[in-house]
Structure 1
Amino acid sequence: MKIAVVAANGKAGSLIVEEAVARGHEVTAIVRHENKTKAQNQLVKDLYDLTREDLQDFDAAVDAFGVFDPDKLDEHQTSLKHLADSLSGTATRLLVVGGAGSLYVNPEHTIKLMDTPDFPDAFKGLASNMGKALDVLKTRDDVNWIYISPAADFQADGEKTGSYQVAGEELTVNSEGESVISYADYAIAMIDEIENGKHSKERISVVSK
């Protein structure tokens, strides 16, 4: 398959590239500067300059964009809207590296993780903007999207176990009672979804077993 990874040089993006290449896919890293990943191809271009023509020939486009500057957190909304607009009406699937803060913690889906008392203040702005971006994405029928939230403890340097479980809109824990997944196992889940195409126009979540 032909896969594009936007913001491929980031930690999550680079591991998604690595997993895709290892499985024999043709991967294009979309980066603002020199490609530092294992992707066979590169497109050096700012996310906001990407066009329909840049993306429409891929089977899947992965949005691995992330920003942590407090003054730029709203770019989680504007960047996702731009990518969705660029893919509107195309057959290319848009898969988003999402956040855990917008996962629900009750069956009624009235309380999100970011609204609970123990949620760290330092991450509330990030979670809020990612959640708003997801809310808008959920209204779109013109894009074949899938939003994949990691577990609450998303470990950049965590172990690659090769296993995980898929859940839905609610925060889910593993057999140890923990909501945790490594970036490496998340990358496996992302490529599995690209290959298997089990979900469309919905948010899922992944957690270690």
Structure 2
Amino acid sequence: MNKKIAIIAVNGKAGKKIAEEAVNRGFDVTGFGRHTNDTAAQHYVKKDLFDLTKEDLAGFDAVVDAFGAFTPETLPLHTTSLMHLADLVAGTNTRLLVVGGAGSLYVDKDHTTHLSETPDFPDDFKPLATAMGEALDKLRERNDVNWIYISPAADFQADGAKTGKYILGGEELTLNPAGESVISYADYAVAMVDEIEKGTHNKERISVVKA
């Protein structure tokens, strides 16, 4: 049976890549967004994230949260939107997979320092990293949801090439053999769909970097 997945904010750059990857693998994909569908998703529901109901997300094997907010006044939406989606799938078998950020990855074995707290982390991205980290912290408190938070590498390239290869990491910033922390949106989508298809992670954060 083909897996049924929903992608929230499917019209965003990450959402589009994930939809394309999932459809290419034979998944039954329903996209949710506020604008006209221009993605590979076979089905589309034009609806604001905060207007979604339990009924909208019922029956899916997985729900992918590809929502993003980037302006100062909208940054708190990372937490409120994620908690809303968590409420909608709470107590069900539906897995909630979150397109996360890299700033909350740890750079030490003791897990005391986040990437966003290191000297070379760009100041412009610190508010976003903080907001996404706070959303992850709230998600960690949820024992009623089958969630997986997937952080990309530090250099997350929207137009990067698809290689189909990646290294799976955990809570810590992982470098590839070339000493880089980089991944394309296309390869991130491969990792996301792999996790939906055959992954066994639950209630944990994983991370991916180009192999």
TM-score (norm 1): 0.99
**SS at structure 1 position matched to 2:73:** helix
* Structure 2 unaligned residues grouped into runs of 5+: none
What value does the CA root-mean-square deviation take over the aligned residues?
Answer: 0.6
**Aligned-partner residue type, residue 104 of structure 1:** Y
* 1:33 Cα deviation after fit: 1.7
Q: Which of 73, 76, 99 is the equivalent residue of 1:74? A: 76
In the alignment, which residue of structure 2 is the partner of 1:145? 147
Q: What is the number of equivalent residue pairs in this alignment?
A: 209
Q: Which of 112, 121, 131 is the equivalent residue of 1:129? A: 131
* 1:94 Cα deviation after fit: 0.2
Q: Which of 61, 68, 80 is the equivalent residue of 2:63? A: 61
In the alignment, which residue of structure 2 is the partner of 1:90? 92
**Aligned-partner residue type, residue 5 of structure 2:** I
Task: Write the distance in 1 (CA, Å) between the matches of 2:122 and 2:53.
Answer: 36
Identity %: 67
The question of 1:9 aligning with 2:3 is answered no
Q: Which of 178, 183, 186 is the equivalent residue of 1:184? A: 186
Contact map agreement 1:56 1:91 (CA 8 A) in 2:
no
**SS at structure 2 position matched to 1:181:** strand
Q: Residues 53-85 of structure 1: CA distance to partner in whole angstroms, max 9, x if unpaired?
A: 111210000000011112111111111010001
**Aligned-partner residue type, residue 156 of structure 1:** A
Q: Which of 141, 162, 165 is the equivalent residue of 1:163? A: 165
**SS at structure 2 position matched to 1:205:** strand
Task: Write the distance in 2 (CA, Å) between the matches of 1:74 and 1:123.
Answer: 15
Segments of 4+ in structure 1 off by > 6 A?
A: none
Task: Write the distance in 2 (CA, Å) between the matches of 1:163 and 1:177.
Answer: 16
Task: Write the distance in 1 (CA, Å) between the matches of 2:6 and 2:25.
Answer: 15
Task: Write the distance in 2 (CA, Å) between the matches of 1:197 and 1:153.
Answer: 24
Task: Write the distance in 1 (CA, Å) between the matches of 2:83 and 2:129.
Answer: 17
Contact map agreement 1:8 1:17 (CA 8 A) in 2:
yes
Task: Write the distance in 1 (CA, Å) between the matches of 2:86 and 2:163.
Answer: 32
Task: Write the distance in 2 (CA, Å) between the matches of 1:173 and 1:31.
Answer: 34
Q: Which of 193, 205, 208 is the equivalent residue of 1:206? A: 208
**SS at structure 2 position matched to 1:53:** coil
TM-score (norm 2): 0.98
**SS at structure 2 position matched to 1:174:** coil
Q: Residues 117-161 of structure 1: CA distance to partner in whole angstroms, max 9, x if unpaired?
A: 111111011000100000110111100000000000000000101
**Aligned-partner residue type, residue 165 of structure 1:** I
Q: Which of 37, 40, 43 is the equivalent residue of 1:41? A: 43
* 1:197 Cα deviation after fit: 2.6
Task: Write the distance in 2 (CA, Å) between the matches of 1:68 and 1:43.
Answer: 23
